[in-house]
Copies of this chain bind each other. A is one copy, B any other.
Amino acid sequence: MLANSFKKVGLATIRNNKFYLSNTLASQKQFIQKFNMTTGASKKVLHEGNINKNVRNVEYAVRGALAIRAEEIREALENGEKFPFKSVVGCNIGNPQQVGQKPITFFRQVAALTEVPELLEGENLAKTEALFPKDVIARAKEIISHVKTVGAYSHSQGVPYIRQRVAKFTEERDGFSADPNHIFLTSGASAGVQLGLQLLIEHSNVGVMIPIPQYPLYTASLALFDGKPVPYYLDESSDWGLNVDDLRASLKKSRDEGVDVRSLVIINPGNPTGQCLTFDNMKEIVQFCKEEKLILMADEVYQVNIYQPETRPFHSFKKVVRSLGPEYDDFELISFHSISKGMIGECGRRGGYFELCGFDPKVIAQIYKIASVSLCPNVPGQIMVDLMLHPPAKGDESYDLYHSELNGIYESLKRRALKLCAAFNSLEGVTCNEAQGAMYLFPQITLPAGAVEAAKAQGTQPDELYCMELLNATGVCLVPGSGFGQKDGTYHFRSTFLPPENLFDDFIGGIKQFHENFLAKYN
């Protein structure tokens, strides 16, 4: 049974067969403590027992029990409560600016001026020029000439000008033509992924192949839209590589069990696993999808977070598909991108886009219709997409600053990735692959039998126990591997390498000390 294969990988949605599970309950219990309600649930019209069961089935570990506990500690620290540490270090979410990453100056300056276009003209202009570089002013003018105002609903698919700019970007990136009418601006990549999955899931037996481990947006959205996750494993022993034979075996197994598998999700570079696929591997994947009639959903939000550019450069799936020639003109691909990642890290603004290749125009019309019910993606987020894809060029007044900011972040991320990886590998019973891309490490940890038993007694997962004790002891917040899925009997956690570089020694020291104590406690 599929359910069993899920049980093996420890996927939350499947552990959840009976709709009530420790992980959820634990997180809910903590959450509920924050509410001070005078009346019980029984009198209510709406209660946990009669809400949409798909909603109930959703699990989302990135913002689960650990994140909620971290928030509690943060508040307690602010209120002067004492802990064995000074601050919470959030390594649980890819949220760079929350942990101190500075925004790119040019992007923010243009964004500011698009808010107040009257600063771009008349007697204000001279004063504006005292504060903003000329290319910032010119760019803001250019954007406002097309967008008119950030305060009006745009076209539901996104401002036509910005879609043209996205098309220009992917054309230059891939060397193949792009159609602005096949591009949808979104409120972050997540909104696009959810829309795509919602569209695909015709009925509850439709399956979507997802990597294990995976970013839990996929299992959460599949639960919400009542589709079936069909897991395929990434190979930890070869840098979280993806083997097409494994894809084929997983697909066959699910189809044999009667699941109507229609799509394959690839996260490249990987989240939480950080691998970056080779061109040849991607070619095989595309061929596999064509043979098996699978829509390819390519989550490419980490496309510029590439740390081994010589050996593992990023290639877009669109480039791979188009490189395969006219036979693949019909191939159905959705590619997602975001302003939240890369070196820009503008998570709070919620911007992104997806590009459709080879889609039936009637299906595109349906996507447009659903997008239109939400009116439009937020316009400041759309503008940031344009800026991210078309930063200052060499010779522009802002170029040097832009380049040094971008490069500073990039080089530091590379250093932090290596340093944290080495630190994890130095811990007893921990092994960690290097990050070829993205923002995360996903080390495997061998937990003492005592810890596994203690977790069982507490009704929690062993890796969640480890992470919760780490948080309470050091303030470092990770996400347990069980939230992403992992092979039965293995334990992992995901850590970003985003905390400020000057805090790294401290925070690594804290983890090392905790780890020793934890082993001593449970061995």
Chain A interface extent, by class: 35 or more
Which residues in B have their C-beta under 8 angstroms from that of A373? 58, 60, 63, 190, 194, 217, 220-221, 224
Q: Determine which of B112, B155, B378 lies in contact with A349 in the assembled complex, contact meaning CB atoms within 8 Å.
A: B378
Residue A1 interfacial (CB < 8 Å): no
Contacts known (A152-B347, A198-B52, A199-B52); A44 close to B360, Cβ less than 8 A? yes
Is the pair A347, B375 in contact by a Cβ cutoff of 8 Å?
yes
The answer to whether the Cβ of A187 comes within 8 Å of any Cβ in the partner chain is yes
A418 contacts across to B, CB distance below 8 A: none
B188 and A375: CB pair below 8 A?
yes
Check: A459 CB closer than 8 A to any chain B CB: no
Tell me whether A63 and B372 are in contact in the complex, defined as CB-CB below 8 angstroms, given that A151-B349, A202-B50, A330-B43 are known contacts. Answer: yes
A45: Cβ under 8 A from any B Cβ: yes
Residue A319 CB within 8 A of the other chain:
no
Which residues of chain A from 62 to 96 have a CB within 8 Å of any chain B CB?
62-63, 71, 93, 95-96
Q: Mark A345-370, 1 if CB is under 8 A from B, else 0.
A: 11111100000001111111110111
Residues on B with C-beta less than 8 A from A149 are 97-98, 103, 348
Measured CB to CB, the nearest residue on chain B to A332 is B45
Residue in contact with A151 in the complex, picked from B56, B153, B347, CB distance below 8 Å: B347
Stretch of A29-37, A166-174, A242-250 on the interface side: A29-37
> How far does the alpha carbon of A116 sit from the alpha carbon of B115 in the complex, in Å?
12
Residue A138 at the chain B interface, CB threshold 8 Å = no
In the bound complex, residues from chain B placing their C-beta under 8 Å from that of A62 are: 372
Residues of B within 8 A of A199 (CB): 46, 51-52, 55
Do residues A363 and B48 form an inter-chain contact, with CB atoms below 8 A?
yes
**Most chain B beta-carbon neighbours within 10 Å: one of A151, A346, A366:** A151
Nearest chain B residue, comparing its CB with the CB of A351 = B378
List 9 tightest A-B contacts by C-beta distance, closest first. Answer: A348-B379, A63-B372, A98-B152, A112-B115, A350-B378, A97-B151, A97-B152, A35-B361, A112-B112
